[in-house]
Every structure is written in structure tokens, then in C-alpha cells.
Amino acid sequence: MYRATFGELPALGVGLGFRRPYLADIFQHRESIDFLEIIADHYLGPSRKTEEELGLLAQHFTLLPHGLNLSIGSAEGIDAGYLQKMARLVRKIDPPWWSEHLGFTRAGGMHIGQFSPLPYTRAAIEVVCRNMDRVKRVIDAPLMLENITYMVSLPMAEMTEGDFLAEVVERTGCGILLDVTNLHINAINHRFGPQDYLGRLPLERIVQLHFAGVEAQDGLLIDSHAQPTGPEIWDLLQTVLARAPVRGMILERDENLPPVEGLLDELRRARDMGREAGRWQ
Amino acid sequence: MDILRAIDNMHGPVFLLAYGAFVAAVIAIVALAQRLRDPTRGLPPPLVPSSPDPYEIAFLRGGKNEVTRLAIFELVGKGHLHVLAPGKEPKDWQVDRSSGSLGQSCDGTSIQRRVFGAVQKPTKAAEIFSGGVPGQLDEYLTPYDARLKEEQLLANADMVARGRRVYVGGLGLMAAPGLFKLATALAEHRGNIFFLVVMAVIAVSVYTGAASPPRTTARGRAYLRSLQLAYASTERSKESSLGTRESSPTRLPEPSISGSSSPGLAMAAAPVALLPAIFGFEVLEGTSFDSLKQMFSQGSRGGAGCGAGCGGGCGGCGGCGGCGG
């Protein structure tokens, strides 16, 4: 279903992962922010205040919902209640696409509380495909799956992470939200080349990018989303933009919040990169 | 005639109860009618602008009185006026000049200059309104009035006229039984009309507050709500830009508002005056401008009053209550 629509997805440009402390700033600098990515889980409940906030944001920006708890890799299946709430949200804001993580957050009926990586096996691919069939019956907007970071490489892998992601999107018809920072972190922590990883992916499926700064802790890189974007990330972004028909990029910043001007500088730089690569005007 | 006879024959306390219920119903129906006949209901509000004009927002929210209050806030914040508190009662507090002139730093266009010019000596809040200071700003507010009416955020002349007809009609309907009862009581030389008169006064006051044609349209109220949502995080962190009650009024830099709530963030380019413009003087509570908030919440009770100052009735001021705060 999605294969036929990738070429028709709009080029959105460069936007910001919406965080409430920046609410007034995004209105004051609306012309510098092309679109917003919202944490879908913040808007799934019936609170009047969040409904009003969602309405206000939707009036001013294209919104892309980014889910946290779909748990597309759960062997026990998708939570029906969560899926229905997500469907309602997607119908309400009618985004060009939405996104989730290629991993799982639930197992044995319990919430793990963080994204856990899937084993890169054929059995895991079957689980994801089965869950995606259910999702597609309820939500017809295109879904982009994001690569997550992982501290431990699970044993008994039958393929590389890149091959796993490639086969999942091929079988499910999803697109890719390539988190360039996560790719860099995994490449350093697990000693593989990001170019090799990119070489495995169907580049035409890379619709959206995430980028953020990295932090080092105990000899490993972590995706804290608490630092400015570093030079190695900018280099990797340039490589991806040159090769993939990216439609949108989102800067993520969750902690150690700087003055908004710092974020706007990063958005400007990313926008210029995308323009030079011919991704948007 | 049967109904008139029934009213005439009704025992006093019974009449008062029935009449009270009738008045309450008329007030509710007319107030609802005023809202329902608003042609802007359902229209989406305008987008939140990148550089909102605090004076336009204040004018939308509370008319010329609110603009006057905002100008005083900025004059105090810039050090051109200061608050004198000779006693404990805020109604006796005054604003006075800190310097003889505004110099170069003040906004030369005017609203602040005109308000500053009106404060020739220590002046109480009530005196500012009763002395006609808001009326002196009319020439500066006319462009705001025109634009806001064009955007359908304020009721235009046609809407106001229709609203007044509904108001007058409802007032007549509400008053008729009471006036008839009063007339028959006087004709029969009955003197027990005290409670009827008191009820009439209260009824007219409540009716005027609730059923006057709103000055702000539904679209205007939705726009104000959008602004309040957009600046909600700024309102929550108001102490970072407005100081705390324990300190002297924070000298307002230019430009100056923090759009973000995290500490240590640089100020983005938006005036601090946006906070009282969007949220009203109540937002100054607990900040270094708390004295202004207290002063102006008392001010109107001795002054011109809501109806005269707001130019549309307290209900139409969008937050008039009380006109001084």
C-alpha cells in the first residue's frame, strides 16, 4: 500500500521535536520551523488542555506524530487500546506520515519502560510483519520505522541490523525514519561502518531523518538528546541527504535546553544542507 | 389581564420568589441569546503572530482601560514611574514620576507618553480612570479598533446595535412584572416595597453584567485563548522575567521576554508587556510588580466604573471584573 505513495509524500523541510518549554518560542519563530514532530503518547488521553494544545499546534504547523509504545516488535501483539487511540490521533491531525520505533517496549504483559532492540532473526521479522498487518488495517497513513540504539548486541543474530531493517520495510511496505545520531552511536559502540549500514538499506525508503547531539559515558556513546549536534553527525547527515530522497528532518533536544537561537541555528544549517542536496526549495 | 390580576393578587414574599426565578430565567436566556447570535461562532481564530502587539491584545481583552494599565506597567518597568505605598490600603497607593521626562528610551509613538504626561503628581489608580486618562488614548486606539473589527475579533457597529436591541428587549421583559407590582403597590399606598427595589437593583446589575452585548466576539475570545495557550509556559515562569515580590520592580530590558521556562535561557525577542497583555494584571501577583496588581484591582471601585471605562459593559470587557484589575 505504501510503496505507491512514497514518491508523493510532501517535502516538509526541517523541523523540531516539539517540547513544551519552547512553546512560546516556536510561535515567535514560526518562519524558521517548517514542521513539528509531536510525541504522540502525550496526546492520546482525553485531557481538555492537551486537546487545546494539539489544536493550537495543528492550526500553525504540519504535525507528525511520533509514537513511543506501539511496541511493533512485541511477540504478544499490538495493544489494541493503544492502537485505537493512535488511530484517532492520526485521523484528527491527518499527517502525511507518522512514525514509531523498530523495537519493543512490552513483553510478557509488562511495560519495559524503554526501547528494547529486536533480535535480528527471521522469526522477529515475522512478528513485526504480523503486527504491521494489524496496524495497517486500522491506520492507513504511511508509517516510518525508526532505528533505535542498543547497548548489547543480542546473540544468535541471523543478519546485520541494516539487513534486518531493510527486510522489515520491504515486507511491510513501511518507510524509514533514519535516526542518523543513533546510527552513529551504534556504529561506534558496536564497531561497524555507517556506510556499510547505509549500503544495506533501500535508500528510496528513507523519508525522514532525526538528528541530535551525542554524549559519552563510561566509554560508550549514548543518545541523551542533550547536546548540540556534533561534526560527525553533520557529516553523516550530508552523506545521507546526498543519497536518499529525504522529505523531512527533525532536530531532537530533550534536556540541557539551550536558548532557542541555538536550535534555530542548527535548523538553518540542516535546511541549507537539504537545499544543496536538492531535497527541498 | 388575568396575568396582571395574578401578579397584583400575589402575596409579597411569593411574588418575590416567583419574580426572582423569572429574572434568573430572563438573564440566562438573554445571555445565551447574545452568545448564540454571534456570527463568528465556529470561525477559526487568527494565527498567533510572531510579534504580537501587547497593546492591541490589551485593547482586545479590556479596552482602553486595559491599555492604560499596560502603559503604566511598562512605565514602572522602565523606571519612569514608581509606586508610592503610604499605607496598607492599595486604594490609597499612588503612581508618581521618577523623572521629569521620558528621555529617548520610551516609545515615542505615544501611548506611554500620553499616560506619562497625565501623571503630573502622585496619582491613585481610581484617579487615573476617573480623570479620563483612558479617553486621552482614543486617537492611538482607533487603528486597533478598526483592525480588530475587520478581523471580526471585536463586535462591529451592526452587531453592537443588534445586541443592544436584544439587551433592551430583555430588560423590558424582565422589568415589566416588577414595575407593575411597584405601581400597584404605590397606587394602593402600600409601603412594603423595599425588597422589591433591592431586587430590582441587583437584577439590573446582574443582567447588565451577564446579558450586555459582548464587546469581544466569539472569534476574539478564541484568539485570546490561543494566545494564552501559546504563552502558557512563559506565564508559568513569570518570575524569571518579572522578578519576585520581594524585589523592587524588575527593570525591563528591551527586548525582553523569556519564551522558555528553563533557567538561564536567554531572552527571546518579545516584550515582557505580553504577559499582562495576554493574561491580565492578575499575572503580576507574586512578582516584583505585585503592588501594581493590588493597586489596580482596587482602583475602579472608586472610579468611573466598569461600564463607562470599558465602553461596553463589564460583561463585554472580557475580564473587566473589576475594571481596575
DSSP-assigned letters across all residues of B156-198 = -HHHHHHHHHHHHHHHHHHHHHHHHHHHHHHHTT----HHHHH
User: CB B260 to CB A21 under 8 A?
Assistant: yes
pLDDT of the residue at A10:
96
Count the neighbouring beta carbons within 10 Å of the beta carbon of residue B111. 22
Nearest CB among A60, A259, A260 relative to B48 is that of: A60
Averaged pLDDT score across all residues of chain A: 94
Q: Is the pLDDT of residue A50 over 80?
A: yes
pLDDT of the residue at B316:
35
Q: Which residue of B has its CA nearest to A33?
A: B50
Give the cell for residue B306.
Answer: 466598569
A228 exposure class (CB count in 10 Å sphere: 0-12, 13-18, 19+): middle
C-alpha to C-alpha distance for A10 and A16, rounded to whole angstroms: 17
User: CB A56 to CB B51 under 8 A?
Assistant: no
User: CB B259 to CB A31 under 8 A?
Assistant: no
Count the neighbouring beta carbons within 10 Å of the beta carbon of residue B291. 21
A54 CA: distance to closest CA in chain B (Å): 10
* Phi and psi, residue A221, nearest 5°: -90, 145
Nearest CB among B51, B233, B257 relative to A23 is that of: B233
Q: What is the mean pLDDT of residues A72-97?
A: 96
Residues 247-266 of A with CB under 8 A from B: 257-261
pLDDT of the residue at B103:
62
Query: Half-sphere exposure (CA, 13 Å, Cβ side) for B256?
Result: 17
Q: Is B236 on the interface with A (CB under 8 A)?
A: no
Name the band, by pLDDT with cuts 50, 70 and 90, for residue A145.
very high
Q: What is the mean pLDDT of residues B79-98?
A: 88
Taking 3-state DSSP, the helix, strand and coil percentages for chain A, each rounded to the nearest 5, stand at 45, 20, 35
pLDDT of the residue at B12:
77
Nearest CB among A24, A56, A261 relative to B234 is that of: A24
Helices (DSSP H) in B82-130: which residue ranges? 111-118, 125-130
Q: How far is CA A279 from CA A16, A153, A271, in A?
A: 18, 34, 9
Q: How far is CA B256 from CA A32, A254, B50, B251, B270, in A?
A: 20, 24, 14, 10, 6
Name the band, by pLDDT with cuts 50, 70 and 90, for residue B317.
very low
Q: Is A163 on the interface with B (CB under 8 A)?
A: no
pLDDT of the residue at B189:
78
Query: Degrees (nearest 5) of the Cα angle A128, A131, A137?
Result: 135
B183 CA: distance to closest CA in chain A (Å): 51
A272 CA: distance to closest CA in chain B (Å): 22
Q: Is B263 on the interface with A (CB under 8 A)?
A: no
Residues 181-210 of A with CB under 8 A from B: none
Q: Is B234 on the interface with A (CB under 8 A)?
A: yes
Residue scoring higher pLDDT (A185 or B309): A185
B262 CA: distance to closest CA in chain A (Å): 7
User: CB B44 to CB A260 under 8 A?
Assistant: no
A140 CA: distance to closest CA in chain B (Å): 28
pLDDT of the residue at B269:
46
Nearest CB among A30, A31, A259 relative to B265 is that of: A259
pLDDT of the residue at B263:
32
Tell me the percentage of chain A whose pLDDT exceeds 90: 86
Averaged pLDDT score across all residues of chain B: 81
pLDDT of the residue at A166:
97
C-alpha to C-alpha distance for B244 and B242, rounded to whole angstroms: 7
Q: What is the mean pLDDT of residues B2-27?
A: 85
In order, the DSSP letters of B47-65 are PPPSS--HHHHHHHHHHHH
A266 CA: distance to closest CA in chain B (Å): 17
B279 CA: distance to closest CA in chain A (Å): 14
Q: What is the mean pLDDT of residues B194-205?
A: 89
Nearest CB among A23, A27, A258 relative to B50 is that of: A27
Q: What is the mean pLDDT of residues B184-206?
A: 85
Contacts of B260 in chain A (CB under 8 A): 21-22, 24-25, 257, 259-260
B92-132 pLDDT per residue, tens: 889 999 877 766 555 546 899 999 999 989 999 999 999 89
Counts of helices then strands in chain B (DSSP H, E): 14, 3
Q: What is the mean pLDDT of residues A244-262?
A: 94
Q: Is the pLDDT of residue B264 over 60?
A: no
pLDDT of the residue at B270:
62
Query: What's chain A's length in residues?
Result: 281
In total, the C-beta contacts within 8 angstroms joining chain A to chain B are 67
Residues A278/A11, Cβ–Cβ less than 8 Å: no
pLDDT of the residue at B266:
32
C-alpha to C-alpha distance for B286 and A273, rounded to whole angstroms: 47
* Phi and psi, residue A164, nearest 5°: -60, -50
Residues A128/A118, Cβ–Cβ less than 8 Å: yes
Q: Which residue of A has its CA nearest to B231?
A: A24
Q: If you ran DSSP here, which 8-state letter would residue A74 be given?
A: -
Contacts of A31 in chain B (CB under 8 A): 50
Q: What is the mean pLDDT of residues B67-76?
A: 94
Q: If you ran DSSP here, which 8-state letter would residue B214 be given?
A: P
Give the cell for residue B246.
Answer: 520581594
pLDDT of the residue at A5:
73
Q: What stretches of chain A adopt beta strand conformation (E)?
A: 13-17, 35-39, 62-66, 98-101, 104-107, 110-116, 143-146, 175-179, 206-211, 215-217, 220-222, 248-251
Q: Is the pLDDT of residue B200 over 70?
A: yes
Contacts of B235 in chain A (CB under 8 A): none
Residue scoring higher pLDDT (B303 or A144): A144
